[in-house]
Amino acid sequence: MRGSGAGSRRPASPLSQLRVTAHAWLLSGRTWARRFQTICEMSDCDDEDIPQLSSHTLAALQEFYSEQKQQSDPGGDDKYNLGVIEENWQLSQFWYSPDTALRLAEEAVAAAGARGRIACVSAPSVYQKLRELHRQDCSVYIFEYDRRFAIYGEEFIFYDYNNPLDLPEQIAAHSFDIVIADPPYLSEECLRKMSETIKYLTQGKILLCTGAVMEEEAAKLLGVKMCKFVPTHTRTLGNEFRCYVNYDSGLDREMSV
């Protein structure tokens, strides 16, 4: 984990604030990193001073935010369109296909009910699909190790399955109507630890997506059974994936997407 610089008590300069603000956007790709580096090089100012930005720098900044807004907010609704984060296989992220993400999101909404609360634990592509649906009758949180999702503000909860109950105080026990989880690794240890999180969060309903080889462990740890619905991913995986639930689900009445 990188240092936060908490030991420094001096007020942040405007340029420092600019860098912090831009940092969240830069995480979306190298293009923005290169652009911001150019902006910083073009402004001849000390980090300790109020920067006097040149006309070229201001133009670059305007272009930066204009293009970012166009990319992340095509519909003009900032509340929902903050940009789509792409999968990072180095973090063992494997996005569902659009059809699967939509089906799982719709299932979560149906299971949560009116004004329901949904927890997506290591299931970022479902979380993003839920946001695309513009659901205003339910609340959704993303529990994720990938800090890029911090752009979603209070809906993002940093989560490391190695510390399954290390959660913020505002996340109360059994406060979610349904938990949809996708363990990043096909191992008994990973599923066992994540099961602690799932059982802490849920009021009862669980939707688990993991490998078919984990069926026995999933049943033992969470009391879930395999559904007929077969999830698919944007890329071909070496292991067969399945969905598991512990409630009467529409996923058990469909064979595939």
Is pLDDT above 90 for 92?
no
Let me know if residue 218 belongs to a domain: yes
Q: Which of 35-44, 71-80, 96-105, 116-125 has the lowest mean pLDDT?
A: 71-80
Q: Are 72 and 101 in contact (CB under 8 A)?
A: no
Q: Which of 91-105, 108-122, 198-212 has the lowest mean pLDDT?
A: 91-105
Q: What percent of the chain has pLDDT over 90?
A: 49
Question: Between residues 104 and 34, which one has the greater pLDDT?
Answer: 104
Give CA–CA dist 199/101, Å, rounded: 23
Q: Please list, in sequence order, all residues whose beta carbon lies within 8 angstroms of the beta carbon of residue 194, skipping any fewer than 6 positions away.
A: 121, 122, 161, 164, 181, 183
Mean pLDDT along residues 149-176: 95
- Gyration radius (Cα) of the chain, Å: 21
Is pLDDT above 50 for 34?
no
Let me know if residue 215 belongs to a domain: yes
Give pLDDT tens digits for 36-90. 444 444 444 444 444 455 555 555 555 554 454 444 443 334 443 445 666 555 5
Let me know if residue 58 belongs to a domain: no
Question: Between residues 68 and 167, which one has the greater pLDDT?
Answer: 167
Query: Which CATH number characterizes residue 183's domain?
Result: 3.40.50.150
pTM over 0.85: no
Tell me how many domains the chain contains. Answer: 1
Give CA–CA dist 128/140, Å, rounded: 10
Structural domain span for residue 136: 96-245
Let me know if residue 69 belongs to a domain: no
Signed CA dihedral, 235, 240, 246, 249: sign only: positive
Here the contacts of 182-187 (C-beta below 8 Å, separation 24 or greater) are 182/121, 182/122, 182/123, 182/126, 182/208, 182/209, 182/210, 183/122, 183/208, 183/210, 183/214, 184/91, 184/92, 184/93, 184/122, 184/145, 185/92, 186/210, 186/211, 186/213, 186/214, 186/239
CA distances (Å), origin 208, targets 56, 99, 213, 246: 51, 17, 13, 9
- Cα-to-chain-centroid distance, residue 130: 11
What letter represents residue 167's amino acid?
A: L
Mean pLDDT along residues 119-129: 94
Let me know if residue 109 belongs to a domain: yes
Let me know if residue 116 belongs to a domain: yes
Let me know if residue 59 belongs to a domain: no
Let me know if residue 154 belongs to a domain: yes
